[in-house]
Amino acid sequence: MLHNLNHIGIAVQSLEASIPFYRDALTLPLAGIEEVPDQQVRVAMLQVGESKIELLEPSSPDSPIARFLEKNGPGIHHIAYEVSDIAAAIAHLKGQGVRMIDDTPRNGAHGARIAFLHPKSSGGVLTELCQPGH
């Protein structure tokens, strides 16, 4: 059901201030920057092998990422597993008694379909399913 670790989401105050560490010090190629209105974030994707680092900057004070930063400061926000059939993966998890934040997939960065599990069902680790768009 899960293919690999698609990305790790990291909450940052500012993409501009955070990108140089990942791009220049860690030498990860910057795949692109994109606004995701659904989640009120600006997202920078950096490639590391088959996986990515997803830097998340709030684009509004009401963004879930803004609330996360207020509470926890910058740091790891979620991990995302790659799936080829997100609807089937959600159905499987619900069949296992897992609570979902998203019962139906929504739009993520780069045309992906995504859904979050409820952290109460995943040991406090915010977990995302991600079906790549291409």
> Under the rule (CB under 5 A), what is the footprint of Zn ion?
9, 54, 80, 128
- If the CB atoms of residues 23 and 81 are measured against Zn ion, the closer one turns out to be 81
Residues 6+ apart with CB under 8 A from 12: 18, 55, 56, 57, 74
- If the CB atoms of residues 9 and 105 are measured against Zn ion, the closer one turns out to be 9
Provide, rounded to whole angstroms, the least separation between the CB of residue 112 and Zn ion: 8
Cβ(129)–Cβ(115) below 8 Å: yes
- If the CB atoms of residues 9 and 74 are measured against Zn ion, the closer one turns out to be 9
Provide, rounded to whole angstroms, the least separation between the CB of residue 19 and Zn ion: 17
Provide, rounded to whole angstroms, the least separation between the CB of residue 9 and Zn ion: 4
Task: Calculate the alpha carbon distances from 128 to 13, 27, 67, 109, 116 in Å.
Answer: 21, 26, 18, 13, 4
Provide, rounded to whole angstroms, the least separation between the CB of residue 128 and Zn ion: 5
Q: Tell me which residue has its CB nearest to Zn ion.
A: 9
Cβ(31)–Cβ(108) below 8 Å: no
Cβ(131)–Cβ(82) below 8 Å: yes
- If the CB atoms of residues 1 and 97 are measured against Zn ion, the closer one turns out to be 1
